[in-house]
Amino acid sequence: MSLVAPRLDRIKPSPTIATSIRANELKASGRDVISLGYGEPDFNTPQHIKEAAIEALRSNLTKYTPVNGIVPLRQAICRKFKRENGVEYKTDQIAVGCGSKQLLYNALLATLAPGDEVIIPAPYWVSYPDMTLLCDGIPVFVDCSAKDKFKLQPETLERAITARTKWLIINSPNNPSGAVYTRSELQAIADVLLRHPHVWVMTDDIYEDIIYGVEFAAIAEIEPRLYERTLTVNGVSKGYCMTGWRLGFAGGPTPLINAINMVQSQTSYHTSTVTQWATIGALDGPQDFIRANAATFMERRDLIVSMLNQAKGLSCPKPDGAFYAYPSCHGVIGRRTPEGKTIADDEDFVRYLLESVGVAAVSGTVFGLSPYFRVSYAASNDVLEEACRRIQQSCNTLN
């Protein structure tokens, strides 16, 4: 009898983490490797947030809290949702978890019955399908092409919905493409959902603060009739540069939030008490650094898009948000490396980049849409310039 549960056969280790592990192995062996595979801001947590944590420690605020977080934190989250998203929640409509990833998983675990379907537009964050599978659900993938700027189209959504559909997951700004849905695009999706009252919508808004010249919009604000069927998920990892602090939050109808909290009460219980107090400092404190960071990311975006578009065989759309580019490598498929190996797909290409010029990226296959690859531009301009020069060099050596 196997020790490992059969459900684990449904999933695989995170490919983005696997890419970083392989890059680190090569670095440890002495190779000069530039890793553009990991999704983490390279900025430090702002000082006022760290000071809030230090003050909590000095005040001995280190005891257990309620499962869904201390009341002052949930009040701060309610203020944030109203101030920035135009959506009003009460404190009993707020869930707080160890990162937004935990809340997404808890929501699926709390709501999916075996065979329930979750519509996942592709390209997608790598964890959505595996979380769905772990919760006995069925991922239903809907391709969103570059022609449509990697965004779900209402007619495609309509065709994907069945009697077993439980959730639609929308990630805007999107990882890996950087696509951002406009208000009118979200309204068109909402119009479809209104015709199918059994379908709920889960919005993963973790990159909300990293956008370039476009307006972020929340579907629960755009279409109030979906308010009672929407779980709005966010957190402090990306916009507030707090990846290691592990705090996510969500707003939604009270029965759903209660179910999420019930799951969490039997797993992690609650996230770090000190992190909760630090997050109040983040949400209620100065916000000017967010705009400054986004401006820096936009400069890097322009740099990397320009240089990747100069690489022979690559074509890189300009993303409107997040800190990823998602270039097509269609033009290098079928070409041969100097060693005589044919580049058959995007997985071959990113493997070639890592082994030949020491640039770590992530293949589009793992995000559900090929032939593309993802590069993170959460790195300095000098690092990005060198990485792009190496990518250009690698493309020029293909026959």
Per-residue pLDDT at 162: 98
Residues paired with 336 in a beta bridge: 342
122-147 pLDDT, tens per residue? 999 999 999 999 999 999 999 999 99
Residue 29 pLDDT class (50, 70, 90 cuts): confident
**E strand segments, 260-399:** 324-325, 359-360, 362-363, 373-376
Per-residue pLDDT at 26: 79
Q: Of 313, 287, 285, which is closest to residue 373 (Cα–Cα)? A: 313
Determine the 3-state secondary structure of 122 from DSSP.
Answer: strand
Per-residue pLDDT at 179: 98
- The residue assigned the tokens 């392989």 is 22
Residues paired with 328 in a beta bridge: 315, 372
18 has pLDDT over 80:
no
267 has pLDDT over 90:
yes
17 has pLDDT over 80:
no
Per-residue pLDDT at 239: 97
Q: Of 56, 59, 92, 76, which is closest to residue 275 (Cα–Cα)? A: 56
Query: How far is residue 374's CA from residue 381's CA, in Å, rounded to a whole number?
Result: 17
The answer to whether the beta carbons of residues 247 and 51 sit under 8 Å apart is: no
What's the one-letter identity of residue 109?
L
Residue 61 pLDDT class (50, 70, 90 cuts): very high
Percent of the chain with pLDDT over 70: 99
| Structure letter (DSSP) for residue 197 | T
Report how far apart, in Å, the C-alpha atoms of 162 and of each of 42, 101, 116, 118, 194 are: 42, 26, 10, 10, 14
361-387 pLDDT, tens per residue? 999 999 999 999 999 999 999 999 999
Exposed/middle/buried for residue 195 (C-beta within 10 Å: 0-12, 13-18, 19+): exposed
Of residues 32 and 171, more confidently modeled: 171
Q: Which CATH superfamily is domain 6-44+289-396 in?
A: Aspartate Aminotransferase, domain 1 (3.90.1150.10)
**E strand segments, the chain:** 34-35, 94-97, 117-122, 138-143, 165-171, 200-204, 230-235, 248-251, 324-325, 359-360, 362-363, 373-376
Taking the CB of residue 252, how many other CB atoms lie within 10 A of it? 26
Number of H helices, E strands in the chain: 13, 12
The domain locations on the chain are: 6-44+289-396, 63-284
Percent of the chain with pLDDT over 90: 91
Mean pLDDT of all residues in 306-329: 98
Residues paired with 376 in a beta bridge: 324
Mean pLDDT of all residues in 189-203: 98
CATH code of the region 63-284: 3.40.640.10
161 has pLDDT over 80:
yes
| Structure letter (DSSP) for residue 363 | E
Mean pLDDT of all residues in 114-121: 97
13 has pLDDT over 90:
no
